[in-house]
Amino acid sequence: MRRIMPVLLSTAVAGALLPAGTAVADPGVIVLQTSMLDVSQSGALRYLQVRAASPAGVAKVHIGLRASGADRPYGSVDDMRRFRGTDANGEWQPAGTVTVRPGRTYLDVEVTDRDGDTAVKRDAAFVDLPGDRLTVTSFGPDGSLDGPFHARLTVGHSRPVDRVEARLVKAATDVAVADFGRLGATGGTGGVTSYRSLRPVDVPVGDYEIVATVWDDRGDRVERRSQPFGRRLPVAFADLRQDRTVVDADHTGVAVTGRLTDPATGGPLPGVTVRDADHTGVATRTGADGRFALTLDARDRVQLPIVAEGHGAYAGKSAHVEVVHRALATRLSAAASPVTRVGRQITLSGKLERQDAAGAWRVLAGQDVTLRLGEAAVTARTGADGRYSARTAVPASGAWEATFAGNRDFKPVRTLTGAVHVQYTAGFQDFGATSAKGGVTARGRLLRTLVTGAKAPVANRPVTLQFSADGRTWTRAKDGRTDAQGRFAVSAAAPRTGSWRVFYDGIDSGVSDTPDTLAYSPVVRGTAFTRFGAAPEPVRKGRTITVSGRLGPVAAGTAVQIYFKADHSTKWTLLATAETGAKGLFSKGFKASKDGSWKAVHTGGGLYLGSSSTTDHVDVR
C-alpha cells in the first residue's frame, strides 16, 4: 500500500531554498538533499542532484517543476538515475538537460521505494532565472573525530548573508543529535565567506551528518548536508621508539616499535594495521599485546610518519619519529681539454666520489656537476663510474669551477680545472686602400669573434700601416688607432710602387686574460704603368692613333681609362676604356683630329691601388 508521510529533513540548493512546506511521509524513505550549482542564461540547470535513502531501496525519483504562485507543475523530470552510493542511500541526477522557465521555479521532489512507500518534499528547492547566487561550496566537521569537533562551511553569495546555523543528525536520517547554533564568519572576500561554529559538540560513537542552513538578507535560504562521517573512540601510541636517530646514505632504514592502546583504559588494541603514512606498502598489524614493529626508509625524509588505521569503534591515529641526515664527505676532480680560441669546443671532465661510513672512497653516480667560467655554465651528470664529461664553447681564458651542490646525504664540494688560455680571433672587415697625390690611405674595421660567433669591435687599439717593395720584407709606414666602432683610416706617403697592409699586434696578455690574436689585413698592391705611348708621331689627320702600354701587376681584364688633352687646353677628357690582357698589356685606337697629349689611368679597386701613366704628345698634321 502506498503511504505518504511528512519529510522533516531540509534540502540544499545552489541559489536559495524556501522553508520546507508541510508534507506526509514514512520515516523509512527520506529525501535527504536536493542541490544544484546554478542556472545558465538559457535556463539549463547545472548539476541537479537528489540524495535519498530507504532501507527497502529507492525505486524512483521524480521532480516536478512548478512556477511561483501555481498549484500544478509546468514540467517534470522523470529520468533521474543513481550515479553514486546505493539504492538504500544514494544520489540521483537526470540523464538529460533540465530547463526552467524565466522567473522563479520551485522543485517538488517525490521519492518512492521498492515497498511502494513515498516521501514528497514540496518546495524542496527553488531557482530564479535570472537569479542571485547562494551556495555552500565546502562543508564538513572541523577537528579530531575522536573528540569534540566544530562545524565549518564556505558560502558563495551575491547578496549579503544574514545568518548561518547548523545542527548534527544521525547519518541518512533526520534524527537530531546536537545543535551547533549560529556559526560565525571567519573570513572571506569577493562573495565567498567561511563560517565556523562558535562552540564544538561531542557525541557518542556513531555515524553522523551536519545539516547547515544559510539565510540571505531577503529571507531566502539554502540547506546543505555534509557527507557522512564517523565519531570514533580515540587511540594512543605508547612506548614509541626508534633504533637510530641519525641516518646516512648507507644506513637509511629506521626500525620503529611501539604499542597501540585505548587511552581510556590503557588496554592494548590488537589486530590494528599500522603503516608508513607515505608508503602504504610498508605495514604491519599489532599483536595481542598491541605491539608493532616497522622498518621505515628515511631517504629524502626527516619526519617518518606512521598511521594506525581506524578499526571498529576506534578512530585512526597518526604519529611520527624524526631523524637527522648525516652528509658524507665528497671529493671532485676536474680537467679541461686544450683549446686556443674563444668559441671553440672544450671538453670538461672529472670524477665525483664520496666516503662511506668506514672512510673508504666510493664512486658517486647519478649526480649533477656544474662547471662554470664567468657567465658560462654547463651541467653534466655522473655515470655509474662516478665520471662526468661535458662539451661547451669556451668564452674566455681562466680556470673552470666544478661544483657539486650536495644534498642531505652528501656534502657539497668544488674544485678548479687548470687554467685555460685562449685568444679572441681578430680580423679585418671592409678593408681597402686608395692612392692620391703621392700617398696611400688604408681604411677598414677591426673586429673580434665572440663565443656566440657574433662580431664585436676592437675599440681604441693601435694598428700599423706597413709597406713592402718586394712583397716579402715589410716596414712600418704609419701608425693609426681604431675608434669605438673598430674603424680606422691610416695615411702614409707612397714614394714608390709596392704592397701595403695593416697589422694588429693583439692585446698584451698582461693587459687582458683573453688577448686577441695577431691580425693582418689583405695585401693591397700598388700598380704602375711600366710602358706607355701614343703612335705614330707625327700622324696625319684622320689617320689612326694607337695608345698602348702595360700596367702591372694586375689581373687580365683590368680597366684602363684613356684620356686626351688638346694643346692650349687644361682639361683632360676621357675618351675610352681599355682592358688589360694576360700580361697587363692594353691598346686602343683613335682617329687623329688635333694636336695634344695622351695618358692612361687605372683608378684602382679591390686589392689594387690606382696609378697614372706618363703623358705622350702627338703632333697631328
What pLDDT, in 10s, does the model give residues 411-445? 999 999 999 999 999 999 999 998 887 889 999 99
Which of 54, 136, 59, 47 lies closest to 94 in space, CA to CA?
Answer: 47
Q: Is the pLDDT of residue 386 over 80?
A: yes
Q: How many residues does the chain have?
A: 621
Domain 528-618 grouped into CATH 2.60.40.730? yes
- Extract the C-alpha cell encoding 264: 581510556
Q: What's the rounded Cα separation, in Å, for the pair 253 and 239?
A: 19
Q: What's the rounded Cα separation, in Å, for the pair 578 and 587?
A: 7
Q: CATH number of 236-325: 3.40.710.10, 3.40.50.10190, 2.60.40.10, 1.10.10.10? A: 2.60.40.10
State the average pLDDT over residues 365-392: 97
Write down the pLDDT at residue 510.
54
Write down the pLDDT at residue 551.
93
State the average pLDDT over residues 342-369: 96
SS3 of the chain: helix, strand, coil, percent, to 5: 0, 55, 45
Q: What is the dihedral of CA 578, 580, 584, 587, to 10 degrees?
A: -40
Separation in Å, CA 208 to CA 142, 202, 203, 259, 260: 13, 12, 9, 30, 26
Q: Is the pLDDT of residue 395 over 50?
A: yes
Write down the pLDDT at residue 262.
96
* Beta-ladder partners of 393: 345
Which amino acid, residue 543?
R
Q: How far is C-alpha 319 from the geometric centre of its chain's CA atoms?
A: 37
167-212 pLDDT tens trace: 999 999 999 999 999 999 999 998 999 999 999 999 999 999 999 9
Sign of torsion over alpha carbons 92, 98, 101, 102: positive
Which of 584, 554, 553, 559 lies closest to 574 in space, CA to CA?
Answer: 559
Within 10 A of 194 (CB to CB), how many other CB atoms are there? 16
Q: What is the largest CA-CA distance in the chain?
A: 150
State the average pLDDT over residues 289-304: 95
Q: What is the dihedral of CA 234, 239, 243, 247, to 10 degrees?
A: 50
Q: What's the rounded Cα separation, in Å, for the pair 422 and 455?
A: 17
Place of cell 553522523: 208
The C-alpha angle 141, 147, 151, rounded to 5 degrees, equals 20
State the average pLDDT over residues 292-318: 94
Q: What's the rounded Cα separation, in Å, for the pair 556 and 245?
A: 92
Q: Is 15 left (phi over 0), alpha (psi -120 to 50) or beta?
A: left
Place of cell 517525490: 110
Q: Is the pLDDT of residue 11 over 70?
A: no
Residues of the chain with CATH 2.60.40.10: 30-129, 236-325, 330-416, 423-525
DSSP 8-state code for residue 400: P
State the average pLDDT over residues 569-591: 95
- Extract the C-alpha cell encoding 28: 523509512
State the average pLDDT over residues 276-290: 93
In which element (H, E) is residue 533 found?
A: strand 528-535
Query: What fold does the segment set 134-231 form as a domain?
Result: Immunoglobulin-like (2.60.40)
116-157 pLDDT tens trace: 999 999 999 888 888 778 888 888 898 778 889 999 999 999
Beta strands in 374-424, from DSSP E residues, in sequence order: 376-381, 387-393, 401-404, 413-416
Supply the mean pLDDT for the chain. Answer: 91
State the average pLDDT over residues 542-560: 93
Q: Which CATH architecture has domain 423-525?
A: Sandwich (2.60)
- The least confident of 137-151, 309-323, 451-465 is 137-151
pLDDT-derived band at 71 (thresholds 50, 70, 90) equals very high
Q: What's the rounded Cα separation, in Å, for the pair 52 and 93?
A: 11
Q: What's the rounded Cα separation, in Å, for the pair 136 and 595?
A: 115
The C-alpha angle 35, 36, 37, rounded to 5 degrees, equals 135
Q: Is the pLDDT of residue 23 over 90?
A: no
The C-alpha angle 462, 465, 469, rounded to 5 degrees, equals 155
Instruction: Return the CATH superfamily for domain 30-129.
Output: Immunoglobulins (2.60.40.10)
The C-alpha angle 110, 113, 119, rounded to 5 degrees, equals 35
State the average pLDDT over residues 553-562: 92
- Extract the C-alpha cell encoding 52: 535519498
Q: Compute the half-sphere exposure of residue 574: CA atoms within 13 Å on the CB side of its CA.
A: 9
Sign of torsion over alpha carbons 265, 267, 272, 273: positive
Which amino acid, residue 165?
E
Contact between 561 and 603 under an 8 Å Cβ cutoff? The reply is: yes
Tell me the three state secondary structure of residue 315.
Answer: coil
Q: What's the rounded Cα separation, in Å, for the pair 550 and 522?
A: 25
Q: Is the pLDDT of residue 41 over 90?
A: no
Q: Which CATH architecture has domain 330-416?
A: Sandwich (2.60)
Contact partners, residue 427, CB within 8 Å, separation at least 6: 446, 447, 448, 449, 519
Place of cell 551575491: 158
Q: What's the rounded Cα separation, in Å, for the pair 294 and 306?
A: 9
Write down the pLDDT at residue 146.
87
pLDDT-derived band at 42 (thresholds 50, 70, 90) equals confident
Write down the pLDDT at residue 508.
60
Which of 260, 261, 302, 296 lies closest to 276 in space, CA to CA?
Answer: 296
Tell me the three state secondary structure of residue 242.
Answer: strand
Terminal-residue alpha carbon distance, the chain? 150
Write down the pLDDT at residue 279.
83
Q: Is the pLDDT of residue 17 over 90?
A: no
DSSP string, 156-198: EESS-EEEEEEEEEETTS--EEEEEEEEEEEEEETTEEEEEES
Q: What's the rounded Cα separation, in Å, for the pair 259 and 261?
A: 6
> What does residue 384 show for φ and ψ, rounded to 5 degrees?
-60, -25
* Better-scored residue on pLDDT, 10 or 383: 383
Place of cell 671538453: 347
Q: Is the pLDDT of residue 523 over 60?
A: yes
- Extract the C-alpha cell encoding 23: 508534507
Write down the pLDDT at residue 511.
56
Q: Is the pLDDT of residue 589 over 70?
A: yes
* Beta-ladder partners of 90: 52, 85
In which element (H, E) is residue 547 found?
A: strand 544-552
Beta strands in 86-235, from DSSP E residues, in sequence order: 89-94, 103-113, 118-129, 134-142, 150-157, 161-170, 176-189, 192-197, 206-216, 221-225, 229-231
- Extract the C-alpha cell encoding 265: 583504559
pLDDT-derived band at 221 (thresholds 50, 70, 90) equals confident
* Beta-ladder partners of 254: 296
Q: What's the rounded Cα separation, in Å, for the pair 263 and 569?
A: 130
Q: Is the pLDDT of residue 18 over 80?
A: no
